[in-house]
Amino acid sequence: MFPLRDDAPRFGTPFITLALIVVNVAVFVYQFSLAIESPGAQQTFVETFGAIPLRAEQALAGRYPLIEGIGPVFTSIFLHGGWLHLIGNMWFLWIFGDNVEDELGHFTYMLFYLACGLLASVAHILANPESMVPAVGASGAIAGVMGAYLVRFPSARITTLVWIFVFITTIELPAALMLVYWFAIQFFSGAVETGGADTGGVAWWAHVGGFVAGAVLIWSRPRRRRYRRAYYY
């Protein structure tokens, strides 16, 4: 299932969501330029700024430079592995991020997004402590946005693209149904996957960790009163 749009009303301009999309695209364009220049240069970039679990563990234990081991836990959420990875992540961020930004306010939403990305990276590191494969992508942070959306907008309707054998159609689903289904896929995929830490692939536990973090973080906050702008004559 792939979300196309939602019907939750937006009450303001999602400046932070737009800025995050621009930053992610800009970083990927830079990655792409490195690949054109030299595949080795791009690989070095990813290995420097991608989150490598074993390095993070060693940095915390004092056996690796702290900045080089822990810094990529943050920077990795702005890197992507390919155009489809980037486009898919940015589309999900656009669908769900604007309403969560409305709910939290711009500055708090920015901190929330970064916190979800950090906690998603931590979940991946805990699940794969010996891995030397760089983890990159905004998926964990965006999963946090989706978890927050589930808590605040469970009854919103999501127009969703679905594949039924060879047929493609669209249906409207409650956000709760779609997001719980998405979370279940991430959880069970992570539970049954073997060898992913050493061979690369999807960081399922980052998705799970980010989603849970987003749901918990927004659960503790009071609802924000939001008003449509009105013009009086």
DSSP letters, 170-228, are: EEEEEHHHHHHHHHHHHHHHHHH--SHHHH----HHHHHHHHHHHHHHHHTSPPPP---
| The pLDDT of residue 226 | 58
pLDDT at residue 56 tops 50: yes
Mean of pLDDT values over 15-25: 97
pLDDT at residue 196 tops 60: no
Please tell me whether the overall predicted TM-score, pTM, comes out greater than 0.85 for this model: yes
Q: Are 208 and 186 in contact (CB under 8 A)?
A: yes
Both structure tokens of 225: 């009163």
Helix (H, G, I), strand (E, B) or coil at 155: coil
Residue scoring higher pLDDT (194 or 207):
207
Residue whose structure tokens are 């991608």: 50
Residue scoring higher pLDDT (198 or 43):
43
pLDDT at residue 229 tops 70: no
Residue scoring higher pLDDT (45 or 199):
45
pLDDT of 151-182, one tens digit each? 999 999 999 988 877 788 889 999 999 999 99
In a 13 Å sphere around the CA of 23, the CA atoms on its Cβ side amount to 15
Q: How many angstroms separate the CA atoms of 150 and 178, rounded?
A: 9
At 150, phi and psi to the nearest 5?
-60, -40
pLDDT at residue 214 tops 90: yes
DSSP letter (8 states) at residue 195? S
Mean of pLDDT values over 81-97: 95
Residue ranges of alpha helices (H) inside 65-138 are 66-75, 83-104, 106-127
Q: Which residues contact 207 (CB under 8 A, 6 or more apart)?
A: 120, 139, 140, 143, 186, 190
In a 13 Å sphere around the CA of 16, the CA atoms on its Cβ side amount to 20
DSSP letter (8 states) at residue 51? B
Name the percent of the chain lying above pLDDT 90. 70
Both structure tokens of 106: 């711009």
Average pLDDT, the chain: 89
| The pLDDT of residue 199 | 53
| The pLDDT of residue 225 | 61
Tally Cβ neighbours within 10 Å of residue 48: 13
pLDDT of 98-113, one tens digit each? 999 999 999 999 999 9
Containing 158, the helix (H) or strand (E) segment is strand 157-164
Residue 39 pLDDT level (bands cut at 50, 70, 90): confident
Residue 72 pLDDT level (bands cut at 50, 70, 90): very high
